[in-house]
Structure 1
């Protein structure tokens, strides 16, 4: 089956933390453009840009105040056009984030809604009367993903729904005007030449029409595990069938990628049926503990369910919302070794892979950010008990021995960088054959060149406990040792690469190591 996305390597750029082009300490579109050659050199096929739209930045730009412009802190529409043109010259496709579940409370649509009690503008959002005496209680028991209630009361007495921060009111996707306006937003960017969209909270745009109570506390714990009346409603697929028709009306295979959580792999696969979206992030591998049995279970269930709808699976080990793999897998040398092995394992699987910026450098989570530097709304809404997601969003080190490590001209970056990141910089790692960066580059080049890799099938070979060995035809074998001790394997072929960058193969696979072999 054709389709560039079926086995693409997509690199996630968190715009504010990638590169600073104007020296103000914030990453921006000019900075991204100046560093795109790194992504082409690395072996990416496409770039996903996080939101760069006008925003009060209550939630890192996912509170959008204008869907068809660029926030001045990130540049201008002209800067975006330059970035897009340069990416295309380098052979890179560009995906942009679209945020359909909610807007900023500063968006003109919401400003108009607040000013129009009982008017049609209010129906763009989910306003309801409260319960109890004088409507003083929220309309139901829904909880915000960021903690606390999902409802805020406005001066005229009604309440509005926000599944995230209060500054992010949820849109009413049962309103035809909302659907029509978002088609215009998509067309605006498609007309400029973008290759597709990453769809934020794709599972959330339709709520149960009755807005029923859940009867539950800690509702977010059910995300991806259980049913909630505000996520993954059946009618959501009407929206994406409509979007697919729009994408298909443009030349060049434009795509939609769902950030979707569903209660089962089968329900997740519905987002990538032939007449809906092209990809849905597979968070199951990201959530799997470091275990051969867990990784194999995720791979088997994921491949089986996507095959039923004719789609491929999208493998993800990290993004801007989760702790970095190095830290998640144990931290320090152990975590880094496991993260390298997990990356090569995922690159060998059928389907597409996403790389979050900095994974190719082996960056750890920054756990010791000063309290005053933290900006994620989770930090304040949790009563400063949950550090939030800032630790995986620290600006990248490009070169040099001290901050800002080539990120930009300003020594002060919007989140402070650890002073010892010089050895992890792009420049430092490009000069070391055994670096994480060069391991990624070698593996991604092999993935592009080897006829067995990318889209296709796999089969498992018998292997010792704590070891997974997968075979892909023609002539490729991937072996990963999830244990701590070395194992001896009788496998055919010669070494292509190893996650520990050792250039030889004697048949012994060390702990927390992946090896690729070719017949």
Structure 2
């Protein structure tokens, strides 16, 4: 990381919470938010599973990285059929991760360091082991207990066919038939995901009241916001009509080769739910926030979730799906900024999360705009050096709005692309009989040190268990201890980048296309305040503009030309 200006103002960044009294000062409008996948972040007790105490033990690292907030994927009590996205008790911590006291300690420690805490909320479905569903199974057909979920009689002479033709996002039918106590076949229940994740019935006022009570439970404990899982899926079209299209995680829905709205996604009724939740959050001080996971296109439909009386943020999947291509990235940025301006909300920028092949691997494939659903040893292996994708980070972090980092991005961590089938745990892998490789490769435990048990993921000195997913040997060279303090490392690049982003107020800035280069020529160029960003997606080097000083560069190159797959911040 060469040719970086020295600026003492960047050495230490205040971690005190800002005054959030005015809407345009709300912390979430320009926050850098770090996603923690708890089971793979840090294991404090040596059982091979990451835990809340492990999160607490690494908060200093996150403070030094320079993020503003952390988002924790589910840690609630769960049978873990879908890595905790099958919640059995929304008000308790699963023993795998600790207990409520551990959560409270982690929350207090994060707040003491000026870090906000966002937790995952899963309102579309529960676990089949949730007390409501257990009660529903024991209750007669047509009972109040069953009205909390979506139970239906089947079609056919004896109800032997599913109520409609909907397919699970994880593969196979979205309906499972029950057997009555007398052994006869009974009703079917809907599960848009795994059969152990029955969908809630959001036509039932009891469901609304319960989920608002869950919000208050965590808000009372002091959380700063919620990431809402499958935020577009809660309400289903009246009559549950058949649908000939297909739906996929992140990529959205298509019908006849065109983008479409599925009858189980993005229905108008979801907005009433979030307007009610908005009122719940306003009962609390500190600008609490909601961020929607909504696989909805076009982006004009996504921003309806972040109108002034609904949520505060929505994930920008158009930007994530653009890949490494100047014209696609430029289009995604233009579309995003125009759409959010219409509703007065900030955009979000994200390249990877727990449901995607890591961008550091996607960008190393022969088609860097592709979106594979996992990568196995039998499929194309990425060019690891090409995919390192430091240039993409410089683009993302220079954009106005809020930016998300998936754990390990700051290390340049790639996907584990050679996991053997016998260790895979993603239900999509099982439900598709391996046709969909699944998401395990991006969920492998982090390497904190180049030596020791599980590369430092396991912090206990007791005889450790094996990590819940095995790490590849290659992870050792990405270990945080090797990168810490090492000039030119990806970790130090991220630290410098986040400090500069804060000092130059890029998150609160305004993007201007400066005309120095054109996306059609394979080069992206824009200004944000005093900072000029140039990123070279092409195959030939380009000259840097004269009269500008290099603030930050994604490579070690000290010349006045920008090589392919390199990016730079200039002043």
Output aligned runs, 1:425-504, within 5 Å.
425-451=479-505, 453-462=506-515, 463-464=517-518, 465-473=521-529, 475-502=530-557, 504=558
Does 2:39 align with 1:25?
no
Deviations 1:441-490 (A, max 9, x none): 11011001114x112321112205100110122x1100000013211132
Deviations 1:358-394 (A, max 9, x none): 0111111101112111111011111122220000000
How far apart are residue 160 of structure 1 and its match? 0.4
Deviations 1:405-433 (A, max 9, x none): 11114251000011232221110011321
Deviations 1:103-138 (A, max 9, x none): 000000001111112210100000001001200000
Match in the other structure for 2:189: 160
Output aligned runs, 1:336-375, within 5 Å.
336-337=387-388, 339-375=389-425
How far apart are residue 491 of structure 1 and its match? 4.5
Over 3 Å counting, the alpha-carbon distance change for 1:123 and 1:303 in structure 2 is same
How far apart are residue 218 of structure 1 and its match? 6.5
Match in the other structure for 1:137: 161
Match in the other structure for 1:177: 206
How far apart are residue 164 of structure 1 and its match? 0.2
Match in the other structure for 2:136: 113
| C-alpha RMSD of matched pairs (Å) | 1.4
- Number of aligned residue pairs: 513
How far apart are residue 219 of structure 1 and its match? 6.9
Task: Work out the CA distance in 2 between the residues paired with 1:233 and 1:501.
Answer: 49
Match in the other structure for 1:398: 448
How far apart are residue 326 of structure 1 and its match? 1.2
Moved more, 216-225 or 28-37: 216-225
Task: Work out the CA distance in 1 between the residues paired with 2:400 and 2:217.
Answer: 33
Task: Work out the CA distance in 1 between the residues paired with 2:57 and 2:177.
Answer: 45
Over 3 Å counting, the alpha-carbon distance change for 1:222 and 1:395 in structure 2 is closer
Match in the other structure for 1:223: 253
Aligned-partner SS, 2:33: strand
Match in the other structure for 1:513: 566
Task: Work out the CA distance in 1 between the residues paired with 2:248 and 2:111.
Answer: 43
Match in the other structure for 2:372: none
Task: Work out the CA distance in 2 between the residues paired with 1:431 and 1:378.
Answer: 40
Deviations 1:19-54 (A, max 9, x none): 001110000000000011111100110000000001
Q: Which of the residues 305, 308, 318 maps onto 2:352? A: 318
Match in the other structure for 2:473: 419
How far apart are residue 494 of structure 1 and its match? 0.7
Task: Work out the CA distance in 1 between the residues paired with 2:482 and 2:77.
Answer: 35
Q: Which of the residues 195, 198, 219 maps onto 1:190? A: 219
Residue 206 of structure 1 contacts residue 231 of structure 1 at CA under 8 Å; is this kept in 2? yes
Does 2:173 align with 1:149?
yes
Task: Work out the CA distance in 2 between the residues paired with 1:492 and 1:11.
Answer: 35
Residue 30 of structure 1 contacts residue 79 of structure 1 at CA under 8 Å; is this kept in 2? yes
Segments of 5+ residues of structure 2 without an aligned counterpart are: 1-23, 181-185, 365-381
Task: Work out the CA distance in 2 between the residues paired with 1:20 and 1:255.
Answer: 28
Moved more, 374-383 or 506-515: 506-515
Residue 56 of structure 2 contacts residue 109 of structure 2 at CA under 8 Å; is this kept in 1? yes
Match in the other structure for 2:126: 103
Task: Work out the CA distance in 1 between the residues paired with 2:512 and 2:361.
Answer: 30
Does 2:362 align with 1:328?
yes
Residue 246 of structure 2 contacts residue 253 of structure 2 at CA under 8 Å; is this kept in 1? no
Task: Work out the CA distance in 1 between the residues paired with 2:50 and 2:546.
Answer: 46
Task: Work out the CA distance in 1 between the residues paired with 2:406 and 2:546.
Answer: 32
Residue 47 of structure 2 contacts residue 465 of structure 2 at CA under 8 Å; is this kept in 1? no
Does 2:427 align with 1:377?
yes
Match in the other structure for 2:16: none
Deviations 1:129-180 (A, max 9, x none): 1001200000001110000010000113100000000000000011000000
Task: Work out the CA distance in 1 between the residues paired with 2:248 and 2:395.
Answer: 33
Deviations 1:315-334 (A, max 9, x none): 01000000001110013344
Aligned-partner SS, 1:135: coil
Residue 325 of structure 1 contacts residue 335 of structure 1 at CA under 8 Å; is this kept in 2? no
Does 2:331 align with 1:278?
no
How far apart are residue 285 of structure 1 and its match? 1.2
Moved more, 169-178 or 216-225: 216-225
Task: Work out the CA distance in 1 between the residues paired with 2:445 and 2:76.
Answer: 19
Task: Work out the CA distance in 1 between the residues paired with 2:100 and 2:285.
Answer: 22
Aligned-partner SS, 1:349: coil
Aligned-partner SS, 1:67: strand
Task: Work out the CA distance in 1 between the residues paired with 2:209 and 2:556.
Answer: 52
Output aligned runs, 1:2-13, within 5 Å.
2-13=25-36
TM-score of the pair, normalised by structure 1: 0.97
